[in-house]
Chain A
């Protein structure tokens, strides 16, 4: 397929631009919660549609390596990817960008300014809206687990405060595990009040539901997705990091429960 297409050979300058742009798009995807298959496909499509003949990509959990090939020239670059902040708007925007390049609507310079714009997209939702809604979401989970109105209310308070704590700690760039443990601790302190004072029918549900905002759902689903599609290295790594975060949640909760003198099972 690569040899049959008659693309004009690019010079080193153009190849450098192409690899820079496609790796940038790949970095945005990987950092904001895309699965490995999507990162590979998008980087490959971007590169080949911008004019190079072939692209080889290696996606590792915290870096992307790619090589562009055109005629007899080739260039290779590594891009580090750190931190995971799920952001579906950015993934969606990169997806649309890739479509537009495929239709020939954008050249290299257009792609660069578009990537600049995408990487600066802010959240659509205000912080207090997220705090309220995540609190409500965890409270809704407590309802699904069979909790009564008291448990619902306490879960809402605990999760909303925990979401706020997590936002504040993440903004100050604390270590990811520390953020998780501290957030689970705060949620656990508030959510163990019903157990400590025997409010409601099944007060333990509040403990289980209040920390659901921390469960690394995207990492765990992506881990299973990577594994079934053959990307074992990234899949296993994501699974382990998801498991460690779950361990951090349990640790923070256990600390809070020990202080409050309640049992969670």
Chain B
């Protein structure tokens, strides 16, 4: 019981901070003012569900897929509700999921390789590869997740 409460508390805090992150980036991307609340909701619920999935034992990649699918569905519904393209909600909402910190440590390890001595260089190389591969996989599942509704519900013949 105590365990569940602590997880829920964790997720609540997580949703609070990721909503602020989504709000800041939505303003940077100049989203229409009337859609701001939808973008923030996408960011908070998307990142919160990833944290919940990770707490329950998912890896960061599959957790990101779950979060991104939820953002995609929310964007699909919000697009009809607010008469704006789904991209507005899904892009701003998935910014908190973008693995900035993992990419940061991949890039920093690569740069530090330039001055590393061969013995310790191996650790840096391994760290750069792990983080680099994780970054690419997370970005891939975010893209699949946020376009999942269109990939499933709108399978028309390409018009172009």
CB of A251 within 8 A of CB of B111, answer yes
- Mostly, the B contact residues are helix
- Mark each residue of chain A from 32 to 49: 1 if its CB lies under 8 Å from any CB of chain B, else 0: 011100101100110000
Does B30 lie within 8 Å of A89, measured CB to CB? yes
Query: In this assembly, does A137 line the interface, its C-beta being within 8 Å of a C-beta of chain B?
Result: yes
Q: How many residues of B contact A (CB 8 A)?
A: 51
Interface residues of B in 94-134 (CB under 8 A from A): 94-96, 98, 100-101, 103-105, 107-112, 127
CB-CB contacts below 8 Å: A229-265 with B: 229, 246-247, 249-251, 253-254, 264-265
Q: Which of A16-24, A107-115, A122-130, A192-200 contacts B (4 or more CB under 8 A)?
A: A122-130
Choice from B23, B98, B105, B127 contacting A220 with Cβ under 8 Å:
B98
- Known A34-B87, A88-B91, A225-B147; contact A265-B107, beta-carbon cutoff 8 A: no
Interface residues of A in 177-216 (CB under 8 A from B): 208-209, 211-213, 215
Q: How many residues of A contact B (CB 8 A)?
A: 61
Q: Is B8 an interface residue (CB 8 A)?
A: no
Cα distance, A202 to B15, chains bound together (Å): 22
* B111, A250: Cβ atoms closer than 8 Å: yes
Does A134 lie within 8 Å of B25, measured CB to CB?
Answer: yes
Are the CB atoms of B143 and A141 closer together than 8 Å?
Answer: no
A137, B20: Cβ atoms closer than 8 Å: yes
Q: A89-B32, A92-B84, A144-B21 are in contact. Are A220 and B101 (CB under 8 A)?
A: no
A134-B109 Cα distance, complex, nearest whole Å: 26
Evaluate contact between B14 and A144: CB separation under 8 angstroms.
yes
Q: Does B52 contact A (CB under 8 A)?
A: no
* Contact, CB under 8 Å: A38 / B147: no
Q: Is the CB of A133 within 8 A of B23?
A: yes
Q: Which of A38, A86, A224 contacts B29 (CB 8 A)?
A: A86
The CA of A51 and the CA of B95, in the complex, are separated in Å by: 39
Q: B28 to A134, Cβ gap below 8 A?
A: yes
| Closest A residue to B51 using CB positions | A144
Question: Does the CB pair B111–A221 fall under 8 Å?
Answer: no
Please, how many angstroms separate the alpha-carbon atoms of A90 and B31 in the complex? Answer: 9
Q: Does B160 contact A (CB under 8 A)?
A: yes
Cross-chain contact B109 with A265 (CB below 8 angstroms): yes
| Complex: chain B residue closest to A126, CB-CB | B27
Q: How far apart sit A137 and B40, CA to CA, in the bound complex (Å)?
A: 12
Query: Hey, which bits of chain B sit against chain A, CB under 8 A?
Result: 14, 17-18, 20-33, 35, 47, 83-85, 87-88, 91-92, 94-96, 98, 100-101, 103-105, 107-112, 127, 139-140, 142-144, 146-147, 159-160
Q: Besides the contacts A38-B85, A92-B31, A247-B107, what 20 more A-B pairs have beta carbons closer than 8 Å?
A: A40-B160, A41-B160, A57-B160, A86-B91, A88-B29, A88-B35, A92-B88, A124-B32, A135-B24, A136-B23, A137-B23, A137-B24, A137-B28, A141-B101, A144-B21, A212-B100, A217-B91, A223-B139, A246-B107, A265-B109
Top 3 A-B residue pairs of the complex, sorted by shortest distance between their CB atoms: A137-B24, A224-B143, A250-B107
